Amino acid sequence: MSVSIQHVAVTSITRGLKNTAALLDKAKAHAEAAGANPDDYVAARLFEDMLPLSGQIQRVSDTAKGAVARLTGVDAPAMADDETSFADLQARIAKTLAFVESVPAASFDGAAEREVTVPAGPSMTLGFTGLDYLLEFVIPNFNFHVVTAYDILRHKGVPLGKRDFLGIGPERVKSGG
Amino acid sequence: MSVSIQHVAVTSITRGLKNTAALLDKAKAHAEAAGANPDDYVAARLFEDMLPLSGQIQRVSDTAKGAVARLTGVDAPAMADDETSFADLQARIAKTLAFVESVPAASFDGAAEREVTVPAGPSMTLGFTGLDYLLEFVIPNFNFHVVTAYDILRHKGVPLGKRDFLGIGPERVKSGG
């Protein structure tokens, strides 16, 4: 059996968005249980010249909606990068997920061979086939920002585990658990 | 066009292993230029109960070779998790890459529907089809450990950039650069 590029792209992206929303929920609950303000995590970062949590979530969203737009030709909604609270970040994720889920599977016909160009910085353009773009850029870049959001929260002491990141559902547990 | 599971798996894994080796090379050069010992990074971690750099690279390797083994039925080489230096970590990555590249593409025939079980902790077993295993477990978990290795090195001040992580080759640059 071969696999559709739509399935690879949409499964990877929708699972990652939902898991990211769940990580933020756990972080919010942790902060509130400790009497802290979860919005204080929004500006947290791992190093001075790295993006803060808000920037990581914005790039998760941009990579997700940009991938679906470039693979299908359907325009993605613009988003202003003005999130300053957990509620804002959750709304951004929900809006991104709604766009990804709104694009019909048939819109991905021909996506693997489609010519895709991606701006990389102010003066550089990258060019790929749709399949190379998905495997070399979208999936690693999307995961980069989800994992770095996770790592920022872990570094701040939020008790997350790998299973929160992977979001493995109970239907996958065959024994134990 | 549909896509082969072999291509999705092997492209994701081999690119990630090569990019990880390049990240370690850059970290080693940075430490040496500063008169520091790069092996001091091997035990660095983001939080007290997270794996250090060595553990992240070991799990990158395990996820890569375990994925190829479970998807094809070809036994993966055992590795002892005894790395204590950058040279050890590079040897681990090279040995893992050699295994992944040694498995013929035809061994992935039927991999998408293959029943795969994965131990998750001491008492739990997860079960997937090969395709679900690749998309829900292998690719996110593999990226998790590559990105966390990157984040550990960035947190220690190593000047890495996103392009080092993505490993976008010059053949993808269409303008600028």
% of chain A surpassing 90 pLDDT: 93
How much is the pLDDT for A32?
Answer: 96
Dihedrals phi, psi of B128, to nearest 5 degrees: -145, 160
Numbers of helices and strands, H then E, in chain B: 6, 3
How much is the pLDDT for A120?
Answer: 85
Distance from CA of A83 to the nearest CA of B (A): 22
Residues in chain A: 177
Q: What is the ipTM of this complex?
A: 0.96
DSSP single-letter state for residue B3: B
CB contact under 8 A, B148 and A143: no
How much is the pLDDT for B177?
Answer: 64
Chain A interface mutation, best of B135, B142, B150, B160, highest count of A Cβ atoms under 10 Å: B135
Residue B130: exposure state from Cβ atoms within 10 A (0-12, 13-18, ≥19)? buried
How much is the pLDDT for B176?
Answer: 81
Residue A114 reports pLDDT greater than 70: yes
A12-52 tens-digit pLDDT: 999 999 999 999 999 999 999 999 999 999 999 999 999 99
| Neighboring chain A residues of B2 at a CB cutoff of 8 Å | 2-5, 112
B33-69 tens-digit pLDDT: 999 999 999 999 999 999 999 999 999 999 999 999 9
How much is the pLDDT for B2?
Answer: 75
CB contact under 8 A, A124 and B165: no
Distance from CA of A2 to the nearest CA of B (A): 5
pTM: 0.97
Distance CA B37, CA B53 (A): 15
Distance CA B37, CA B85 (A): 10
Distance CA A174, CA A50 (A): 40
CB contact under 8 A, A47 and B154: yes
How much is the pLDDT for B112?
Answer: 97
Of residues B1, B126, B150, nearest to A174 (C-beta): B126
How much is the pLDDT for A104?
Answer: 98
| Neighboring chain B residues of A177 at a CB cutoff of 8 Å | 124
Report the DSSP beta bridge partners of residue A127. A117
Residue A129: exposure state from Cβ atoms within 10 A (0-12, 13-18, ≥19)? middle
Chain B interface mutation, best of A117, A168, A171, A173, highest count of B Cβ atoms under 10 Å: A168
How much is the pLDDT for B1?
Answer: 58
Residues of chain B with pLDDT under 50: none
| Neighboring chain B residues of A147 at a CB cutoff of 8 Å | 143-144, 147-148, 151
Confidence of residue A2 (pLDDT cuts 50, 70, 90): confident
Residue A177 reports pLDDT greater than 70: no
Distance from CA of A6 to the nearest CA of B (A): 9
Assign residue B110 a region (left: φ > 0; alpha: ψ between -120 and 50; beta: otherwise): left
Which distant-in-sequence residues (6+ apart) come within 8 Å of B145 by Cβ? B56, B57, B59, B60, B63
How much is the pLDDT for B123?
Answer: 87
How much is the pLDDT for A1?
Answer: 58
What is the crossing angle of helices B53-72 and B5-33, to 10°? 160
| Neighboring chain B residues of A60 at a CB cutoff of 8 Å | none
Which distant-in-sequence residues (6+ apart) come within 8 Å of B42 by Cβ? B52, B53, B54, B83, B84, B85, B86, B89
Which distant-in-sequence residues (6+ apart) come within 8 Å of B114 by Cβ? B70, B71, B73, B129, B130
